Amino acid sequence: MAKHQGVSLSVIKRLPRYYRFLGDLLKKDVTRISSRELAQLMQLTASQIRQDLNCFGGFGQQGYGYNVADLRREIGSILGLDRNIPTILIGVGNLGRTIARHMDFESSGFQLVGLFDNNPSVIGQSVRGLTVSDVAQLDEFCHARQPKAAILCIPREVARATAERLISLGVTSFWNFSHYDLLLDFEGLIVENVHLGDSLMTLSYRIHAGEQAKENSIQSN
Ligand code: NAI
């Protein structure tokens, strides 16, 4: 039984950030760190860090802090980063091509094994050492390679039909950029929806809120 069963998704979502910061520390030859120092670095509170890491049995030792390499290894194992889940990407346009080229799949627990598109001018191109296949060959490919995850970089209008086909071929997890809500129509999937626009709107809010705060302080002076 995995030791992280029942841990809230909000804690799990913070783990990649811990993993990243601990990796940076290792690169700087830092071997051990207290929760207070890690909190300062990550702009969290020490108690938040202790609370998060205690969910997995706690890795720190009183008076010693955390061993950076051990903690990073534990978090990597909780996140399953050594699993190399066979993954395909559908839609090798502007976004799909960028993701295929620039994401470090191997360090994130995935292995990109196939690229698919329906545009004849894209099919046959080589991206990240993989040749883009015709989406018509999906069935054959999935039977042979059994990918478990798919990255959807296709237009919203075709996402439902594509997802239906992928699910029938045994794909159960989706990294979904298509703006189509898979979970409205299909149950039992593992889906991470990505909307870069949400992050941009949050930035807009924060700029706006910052301007308002400045204006308010000028008015009250
Ligand atoms: P694009 O038009 O450059 O690429 C789309 C690719 O999908 C094309 O190569 C096209 O031939 C292919 N395609 C279309 N129908 C297909 C099908 N049935 N099967 C296989 N391949 C198919 O568009 P871009 O800029 O790459 O964007 C892709 C999608 O991602 C768009 O729907 C866009 O709205 C969305 N998007 C989402 C973002 C997010 O944060 N979630 C950010 C940017 C874009």
pLDDT-derived band at 62 (thresholds 50, 70, 90) equals confident
Q: 177: burial class by Cβ within 10 Å (0-12, 13-18, 19+)?
A: buried
The preferred substitution site among 88, 103, 117 for testing ligand 1, maximizing ligand atoms within 8 Å of CB, is: 117
Give the atom of ligand 1 at the shortest distance from the alpha carbon of 95: 26
Ligand 1 within 6 A of CB of 117: yes
Q: Whose CA is nearest to atom 7 of ligand 1?
A: 91
Q: What is the pLDDT of residue 69?
A: 94
Q: What is the pLDDT of residue 130?
A: 98
Taking 50 as the threshold, does the pLDDT of residue 1 lie above it?
no
Ligand 1 within 6 A of CB of 151: no
Q: Whose CA is nearest to atom 27 of ligand 1?
A: 95
Ligand 1 within 6 A of CB of 95: yes
C-beta separation of 146 from 170 below 8 A? yes
What is the per-residue pLDDT across 141-174, written as a single tens digit (0 to 9) for each?
A: 999 999 999 999 999 999 999 999 999 999 999 9
What is the per-residue pLDDT across 63-96, written as a single tens digit (0 to 9) for each?
A: 778 999 999 999 999 999 989 999 999 999 999 9
The preferred substitution site among 135, 165, 171, 177 for testing ligand 1, maximizing ligand atoms within 8 Å of CB, is: 177
Give the atom of ligand 1 at the shortest distance from the alpha carbon of 196: 40
Which element (helix H / strand E) includes 191? strand 190-193
Residues contacting residue 176 through CB under 8 Å, at least 6 positions apart: 151, 152, 159, 182, 191, 192, 193, 194
Alpha carbon of 178 to ligand 1 centroid (Å): 7
Taking 60 as the threshold, does the pLDDT of residue 113 lie above it?
yes
- For 47-74, what is the mean pLDDT? 83
Mean pLDDT of the chain: 92
Q: Whose CA is nearest to atom 35 of ligand 1?
A: 178
Alpha carbon of 84 to ligand 1 centroid (Å): 25
Residues 59, 44: Cα–Cα separation, whole Å:
18
Q: What is the pLDDT of residue 64?
A: 79
Please report the beta strands in 46-183, taking only residues with DSSP state E, as ranges in sequence order: 66-67, 85-90, 110-117, 126-127, 130-134, 149-152, 173-176
Q: 88: burial class by Cβ within 10 Å (0-12, 13-18, 19+)?
A: buried
